[in-house]
């Protein structure tokens, strides 16, 4: 199985901060990478697919990039609605696997 790791596990940030979250795949997944946002008690929400494509209706302050097996989610200017846990997911092959998550908190 492809293992996904994320760093950091926890980010303490303030409104307006630029936040970056990293995700690494244990093997090549090309650009088959998605990012999800999850708030407590809610289902995850797709933010980014194909490593860098913004899902419909997702604010443009979210962006994704890739470099080999390393992927990055960037929030350019943190807003109150962005405090949540973020997961990466590889969509390259079965079984689909998720990273352990990064919590963005105040």
Residues 104 and 18 sit within 8 Å (Cβ to Cβ)? no
Give the contact letters, 8-47, x = binds to other proteins (CB under 8 A), - = no: ------------------------x-x-x-----xxxxx-
Does 50 engage in binding with other proteins (CB under 8 A)?
Answer: yes
Per residue, the 3-state secondary structure of the chain, as one string, reads CCCEEEECCEEECCCCCCEEEEEEECCCCCCCEEEEEECCCCCCEEEEECCCEECCCCCCCEEEEEECCEEEEEECCCCHHHCCEEEEEECCCCCCEECCCEEEEC
Least distance between other proteins and beta carbon 94 (Å): 5
Q: In this complex, which beta carbon is closest to other proteins, that of residue 1 or of residue 70?
A: 1
Q: Which member of 17, 24, 76, 100 binds other proteins (CB under 8 A)?
A: 100
Q: In this complex, which beta carbon is closest to other proteins, that of residue 80 or of residue 94?
A: 94
State the residues that interact with other proteins by CB under 8 A.
1, 32, 34, 36, 42-46, 49-50, 55, 87, 89, 91-92, 94-101
């Amino acid at each position: 199985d492809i293992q996904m790791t994320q760093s950091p596990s926890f980010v303490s940030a303030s409104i307006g901060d630029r936040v970056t979250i990293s995700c690494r795949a244990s093997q090549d997944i090309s650009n088959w990478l998605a990012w999800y946002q999850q708030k407590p008690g809610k289902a995850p929400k797709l933010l980014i697919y194909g490593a860098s494509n913004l899902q419909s209706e997702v604010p443009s302050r979210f962006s994704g990039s890739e470099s080999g097996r390393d992927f990055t989610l960037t929030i350019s200017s943190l807003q109150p609605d962005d405090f949540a846990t973020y997961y990466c997911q590889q969509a390259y092959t079965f079984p689909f696997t998720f990273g352990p998550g990064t919590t963005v908190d105040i």
